[in-house]
Chain A
Amino acid sequence: MDLTEKLVSGKGNFVDDINMPGMLHLSFVRSPYARAKILRIKGGITWKDVDLKMASVGEGATKGFEYLEHPVLAKDYVGYVGQPVAAVYADSPYEAEDLAETSVEVDYEPLKAIVDPEMSLTAEPMYPGLKSNLLADKYLGADFEIKDAPVIIEDRFVNHRIATDPIEPRGIVAAYDGNRLTVWVSTQSVHSLKEGFCEIMHLEPESVRVIQTDTGGAFGLKGGIYPEYIVAAYLAMREKRPVKWIETRREHLLASRPGRGVVGKMKLYADRTGKILGIKGDVIVDSGAFAGGSGEFSARFIAMQLTGPYEIKNAYIHAMSVLTNKVPQGPYRGAGRPEAAFFIERMVDRLADELEMDPVEIRLKNATTAPYVSPTGLTVEASKPFLESAVKAMGYHDHVRKGNTGFGWFVLVPATMPGETARILVDGGTVKVWLGGNAHGQRHDLFVRSILSDELGIDPSVVEWQKGDTDQLEDGVGAWGSRSAMMGGSALVEAARKLRKEVENKYGKYSPQKLLEGKWDSYEFFHYDKPYNNLGANLITVHQDDLGVIHVRECISYYDLGKVLNMDNVIGQNAGGCAEGIGQTLYEGLMFDENGQMMTSSIADAGVVTADLVPRYKLLLHKSESSLPSRAKGLGEAPTIGTPVALARAIEVATGLRIRETPINPEYLLSAKKFH
């Protein structure tokens, strides 16, 4: 049975499906306050047992904020609701949950929480010794002055925090045989996790093995390491018994790392012909209470992308990551890319309205005509030809005539660096493949088969894509940032070519039979340390009903994907990402009250879309090839970048309202003029 046949028959192997004799179940006691001193803790596993600090690994990892590091278990202070304070364990998850309720006492002295990131900028520093609540503070580009610019537009935009909400929550099983810690985990990167365990727990690389289980979605959530994993490993080592921890959805909403949570204050200078003369702005990231999330990295990353696919000569952006009493921010599909596109595209639409020009006309006017590096450091190819073909292929003008159409486009900046690894093992007629980044639902099995059948001339059915295992592949990076087909795919192509050479060397000539008869093992680290960006565009049409509700009618993507390694794979990635983009724009948000208590009560309340709320999707391809060995370009995050901007614009057209915030407040939608 292949992977999908297993999954449709209930024979998957997700982390919660693992059962071992003598297994213990962990449950956590968490802070009920957004900010408090801990006066006393009695009972359970506490910091006295595990006095360790988290390290930052995985996507957007940052170092150098030692005193702000997240403690594995809180010591004398808690910084957000849901922060792990103590752990309990039992033979069954029911008992463990009972114990969490009854066996630990914690006395807190609540402090005034800092909830709003903009207010945090001027608030008292959260921790003694800090001068401000800025976790990261950087200027990109160069300051400029444009005297008497004919058009100056200023605005403020917000993308609220959203839960990553894979349908499988986080989870881990840890076991220890006296020498070696083995963990089975739902993850995007076994290698990042291994690095994290070694660094945080001071373990030698030989003594840790990380094995990926079937991973039920991740969307950025499962690239990093979490306090709960460390406690599970600690307990497994202490008790010499396997330990399981499975996150509840409530814990997920409260205490896993959510994405977005960014404010953009923008100022745009233009002339009356629509030429953009410069942009200034503040990017303010709601980083949460500790370093180690992606917050301190993402402000700079967003700022860098603010010039978009445009030739903007002047740009000066202040990138700030701000401490707040919330769980640290993490990457969520797009991770900084959708925010940047939202801010700049909304501004360009404002400019179009100000000058009463067609939004695409304005965009054509400002598109790059040759490869361009913007003042903030964004590399863009000539974007104008792409835009022209997008407009044509999508039938933009016909749609506009019919009304309620929004268009948006963007530069996708895949996380190419530092490349990726791959291993091919041929034995007994089957071909096993490991990639350094671990799929969590992107169906790497599909493109792995396509690549190997192309490169090696073998029947796709003999290829078996393998889940991550640090014992099978010595190093690797991770599956995030739209990088897998580009980097993992290229590593695989190179490994396959190496293999082909080896067969040739041995037999004088390559043949698939010779390959499959033998035993071969090929490893490749495809190093890559340059950006490799590509362009994408989205078009959306909507209808607003009598109650103000927006219904998405058409959702069209036009992407430059280089060579399509597997069409079904690509269609699936686009569809899923469009649904998430629609979700972000219309429904998804984690809401907090002024005390930092989360008001969002369930995955339904958090806004994950249901089947009845989304349309069909259409994907059109811009034909091109990349110069990478896999010939692929980035995809995974594209629809989460393009959908919100196109949808926001379509809603502006349909309602006459200015869209500045996601999720869009339904009450605001009902304030449209046509209703009054």
Chain B
Amino acid sequence: MSNLKVSITVNGERKEAEIEPRMLLVHFIREVAGLTGTHVGCDTTNCGACTVLLDGRAVKSCTVLAAQANGKKVTTIEGLSKGENKLHPVQKAFVDKHGLQCGFCTSGMIMTSFWLLNKKRKLSEEEIREAISGNLCRCTGYESIVDSIQEAERRMDESEEYIEEEIPARRGR
């Protein structure tokens, strides 16, 4: 099988590599870009531990080929904090509201929350629960995660000082 050359912009940095066509985006992120914050928790596209933003949309990177992301923009958990110690309000809220226990689902949860809050505000609890229904957490029972997202929403309303992601305008009508 012939290798493919791809160029993917990960957290603003262009990564070029020759890869096997079958390489999953999650492995490109972890092995090629060396960013291990994106996790793998299942093989059936259920858990969302691998969630990243692909051109502004939250997707499960274990079910995207790196080749499909060629020429596109990927944002991972590592791309949310500005500089070393500046956490994004969503990250900060997860710390303060105990939105994590073991922390394995956390990157994915935060990426989904980040996508959600960039897209829409004034979310009802039901909408939040629905939006994270593709992300499994076995530790928290979800309550503290919902609290964290609500807290993040409050903080994002108040502050402008964080990384934003352009969520694509809906195409067509």
Instruction: Give the bracket for the number of chain B residues in contact with chain A.
Output: 35 or more
A603 in contact with B143 given A9-B37, A572-B101 (CB within 8 Å): no
Q: Are the CB atoms of A167 and B49 closer together than 8 Å?
A: yes
Interface presence of B46 (CB below 8 A): yes
Pick from B2-10, B64-72, B103-111, B155-163 the stretch touching chain A: B103-111
A10 in contact with B141 given A167-B49, A250-B43 (CB within 8 Å): no
Complex CA gap A17/B104 in Å reads 12
Q: Are the CB atoms of A602 and B98 closer together than 8 Å?
A: no
For the complex formed, measure the closest distance between the CB of B82 and the CB atoms of chain A, giving whole angstroms: 11
For the complex formed, measure the closest distance between the CB of B4 and the CB atoms of chain A, giving whole angstroms: 14
Pick from B53-61, B116-124, B132-140, B165-173 the stretch touching chain A: B132-140
Our count of residue pairs bridging A and B at CB distance below 8 angstroms stands at 172
Interface presence of B25 (CB below 8 A): no
Interface presence of B74 (CB below 8 A): no
Q: Are the CB atoms of A167 and B137 closer together than 8 Å?
A: yes
Q: Are the CB atoms of A576 and B138 closer together than 8 Å?
A: yes
Interface presence of B14 (CB below 8 A): no
Complex CA gap A401/B47 in Å reads 40
Complex CA gap A94/B91 in Å reads 33
Q: Are the CB atoms of A167 and B107 closer together than 8 Å?
A: no
Q: Are the CB atoms of A94 and B43 closer together than 8 Å?
A: no
Please, which residues of chain B bring their CB within 8 A of the CB of A572?
A: 98, 101, 139-140, 144
Q: Are the CB atoms of B37 and A1 closer together than 8 Å?
A: no
For the complex formed, measure the closest distance between the CB of B74 and the CB atoms of chain A, giving whole angstroms: 13
Please, which residues of chain B bring their CB within 8 A of the CB of A217?
A: 101-102, 104, 138-139
Complex CA gap A284/B49 in Å reads 37
Complex CA gap A608/B110 in Å reads 20
**Residues of B5-20 contacting chain A, CB below 8 A:** 20
Interface presence of A228 (CB below 8 A): no
**Residues of A549-588 contacting chain B, CB below 8 A:** 568, 571-572, 574-580
Please, which residues of chain B bring their CB within 8 A of the CB of A10?
A: 35-38, 76-78, 107
> Which residue of the partner chain, among A9, A11, A167, contacts B105 with CB atoms under 8 Å?
A167
Interface string of A30-67 (1 = CB under 8 A from B): 00000000000000000000000000000000000000
Residue of A nearest to B76 (CB): A10
Interface presence of A460 (CB below 8 A): no
Pick from A177-185, A308-316, A369-377, A612-620 the stretch touching chain B: A612-620
A16 in contact with B110 given A441-B103, A572-B101 (CB within 8 Å): no
Please, which residues of chain A bring their CB within 8 A of the CB of B44?
A: 249, 601-604
Q: Are the CB atoms of A575 and B110 closer together than 8 Å?
A: no
Complex CA gap A12/B35 in Å reads 11
Please, which residues of chain B bring their CB within 8 A of the CB of A219?
A: 138
Interface presence of A414 (CB below 8 A): no
Please, which residues of chain A bring their CB within 8 A of the CB of B41?
A: 167-169, 216, 249, 603
Q: Are the CB atoms of B101 and A441 closer together than 8 Å?
A: yes
- Additional 6 contacts, C-beta under 8 A, given A17-B30, A216-B103: A10-B36, A168-B104, A217-B102, A248-B43, A574-B141, A575-B142
Chain A residues in contact with chain B, CB under 8 A?
A: 1, 3-5, 7-12, 14, 16-17, 19, 94, 165-169, 214-217, 219, 246, 248-250, 440-443, 568, 571-572, 574-580, 601-604, 608, 610-612, 614, 616-617
A-B contact pairs, 11 of them (CB 8 A): A4-B95, A246-B40, A249-B42, A249-B44, A250-B43, A443-B101, A579-B142, A603-B136, A610-B133, A610-B136, A616-B143
